[in-house]
Amino acid sequence: AGIIHRGRQRWIGRLRRVVKAHPARRRPPCAILDRCQGCPLMDLETSAQLKTRQELVRRALREAGLDGIDVPPVHAAPQDLGWRTSAKLAIGRNRRGVVIGLYRRGSHDIVDLRACPLHHPLINRVIEVAREEIARQKLPVWNPKQQRGLLRYLLVRVSPAFNKALVTIVTDRRDFNRVNALAGWLKRKVPEVIGIHQNVNASTGNVILGRETLKMTGAPDLRDRIGPFTIHLGPTSFLQVNPAQAEKMYATIADWLAPKEREEVLDLYCGIGGIAMHLAARGASVTGIEAVPEAIRHAERNARGNRLENCRFIAGEVEQELPRLLAKMPAGCPVVVNPPRTGCREEVLDLIAQHRPRTLIYMSCNPVTLARDLALLSGRGFKVEKLEAWDMFPQTAHVECLAKVVPQEGAKKAQRQG
């Protein structure tokens, strides 16, 4: 192996040759695994992948000083391949022509994805047609060195339940005529595409989406199902990329929380309301907070569409809305958090600790920030009653976790340290 990246906390290596294969090693179902680098565990059997993820969680907890928390075997995903229902892909051009795929680690070179085995098949069809038409129309694509080029990213979101797709084309400027020609071709060649949007991102950084999203043709959103609920998602709404596994996690959250009839529950970073609806169906009165206005609009629509009148949603930053909301909530009412990879800000955890919920459920896609936040809560008079890990992203090095956190018996109300 050779080292390709030296970070402050970890080094990353690349395999050069196999001297003696481990019994768990297999032939990966991908021809470009060594170039793409998006699936570092793909050449391991599923059982070995699950053990690796279990150890990743254990190590994160250990490094945060939480050695005593048991980590049971990781819950396997319903399917190892074809599970990814959304993709955000860079558009570029090399010597061979138009490429659509992922940036190679540490570079601006795009690894062209022609039949990614992780993608839902409909995503791969959209990529293929888009690549051909961009080349045929000779549309300008983003050049990161020159910091210009019309087409920057292609976002595809699929509804497995209804076999439909929503496409977003990210451009560096408004150019309706040329982008509309591409959109029209996509809809004709892939009839499962029901709507196409344009997002304008004029920045020169690595952020994928800009602030302006325009509907170009077709439906404004996508209909899907998660568990027993029919949901609607917009082009920039967040939903786990593996909804079949997310459905199982949402049901587990409801089981762990076991809300009483009409019990008030806070759902922080609620997205389009997936967790809130599972709790409301059990009788809870749920209040969700989410920073993305589009997600809140869909959360409200999803609750209405599923006849769940015991949900309400607030558009705003959790840090700003939570103090006002907690002042109105019953003491000790349960809280659910599902923050981004960066975890919860300390001020949010302090507010939760001062509120003293009977139960806090923490859903996390990053075991390092989860462990950090659990350690902070431990210092505020809470303990982890149970923690389980889920294979949300088969073949990759990522893992999703659920932690059930409860007040320690006899502990005083937490106060901010320092």
Q: Write the CA distances from 150 to 132, 169, 171, 202, integer angstroms.
A: 16, 10, 5, 10
The pTM for the full model equals 0.91
Catalytic choice (333, 344, 365, 401): 365
Q: Which residues of the chain have pLDDT under 50?
A: 413-418
189-194 — which CB contacts under 8 Å span 24+ positions? 189/129, 189/133, 190/122, 190/125, 190/126, 190/129, 190/165, 192/122, 192/125, 192/163, 192/164, 192/165, 193/126, 193/164, 193/165, 193/166, 193/167, 193/218, 194/164, 194/165, 194/166, 194/218, 194/219, 194/222
Check residue 236 and give its pLDDT: 86
How would you class 395 by CB atoms within 10 Å of its CB: exposed for 0-12, middle for 13-18, buried for 19 or more? buried
Residues near 262 by beta carbon (within 8 Å), at least 6 away in sequence:
283, 284, 285, 310
**CATH code reported for the domain at 86-226:** 2.40.50.1070
Check residue 65 and give its pLDDT: 97
Q: Is 270 among the catalytic positions?
A: no
Check residue 37 and give its pLDDT: 83
Check residue 106 and give its pLDDT: 76
End-to-end CA separation in angstroms for the chain: 45
How many Cα atoms occupy the beta-carbon half-sphere of 341 within 13 Å?
4
